[in-house]
Amino acid sequence: MTNSRSDLDKPLVGILTGSPNDLGVVEKAQEQLAALGIKSELLVLSAHRTPERVTEYVKSAPKRGIEVFIACAGMAAHLAGAVAAQTLLPVIGVPLASASGGMGGLDALLATVQMPPGIPVATVAVDGAKNAAYLAARILAAGRPAITERLAADFADQQRKYDSPDKPRVR
Ligand code: C2R
């Protein structure tokens, strides 16, 4: 790893989701990464429905420069765990409140977060696609000052937006 990498012209994050029906939520991860100047690739792949394709993708992605996976799934959400089982790259899991039913995301949350020791999945909130992007950006920021600068600017924006010391609520 060099001290300052300037490789932001190619995808660094691989975003996977279990169904085309998830895309409305999952696209928020890709949008947030783009807002931070990070390219990503987004694919519909399923550990249940297309397991060989998941393996093929996870094994080939690092050769193309992917450094972090974001895996999103609803209901019996095995996708993030199946990815983490086949790579040493960091895997961020996004449990989804599936449009097709289920238990409002609690099913997917438990399936994603309860990984056996040694096979970690960094799990964000139900439908937390945006935070998955922020977490991926923080991981990628090591050695990439351009990402750190964008994260810092975004952080400052949030503080400005939510901090209102000049407008106390008085009752
Ligand atoms: P459909 O809407 O396509 O029937 O899928 C998807 O993420 C989706 O939320 C229903 C739900 O099944 C999820 N799914 C998984 C996996 N593949 C699809 N949990 C997996 O591999 O874990």
Q: Which domains does the chain have, with CATH numbers?
A: 6-163 (3.40.50.1970)
Q: Which residues contact 38 (CB under 8 A, 6 or more apart)?
A: 8, 12, 13, 133, 136, 137, 140, 147
Q: Is the CB of 128 under 6 A from ligand 1?
A: no
90 by DSSP, 3-state: which? coil
Instruction: Give, using CA atoms, the residue closest to atom 8 of ligand 1.
Output: 74
pLDDT for position 29: 98
Edge-to-edge order in the sheet of strand 13-17: 40-44, 13-17, 68-74, 91-96, 122-123
Q: What is each CA distance from 4 to 7, 8, 147, in whole angstroms?
A: 9, 11, 11
In this predicted structure, what is the pLDDT of residue 7? 86
126 three-state secondary structure? coil
- Provide the pLDDT for residue 4: 67
pTM of the model: 0.94
Q: Which residues of the chain have pLDDT under 50?
A: 1-3
Residue 101: predicted pLDDT:
84
Instruction: Name the residue at shortest CA distance from atom 6 of ligand 1.
Output: 18
Instruction: Give pLDDT, residue 102.
Output: 81
Looking at residue 142, the DSSP 8-state letter turns out to be T
The pLDDT of residue 98 is 84
Does 97 contact ligand 1 (Cβ within 6 A)?
A: no
Beta-strand ranges (E) seen in 22-158 are 40-44, 68-74, 91-96, 122-123
Closest CA to ligand 1's atom 12: 74
Structure tokens at 69: 């996976």
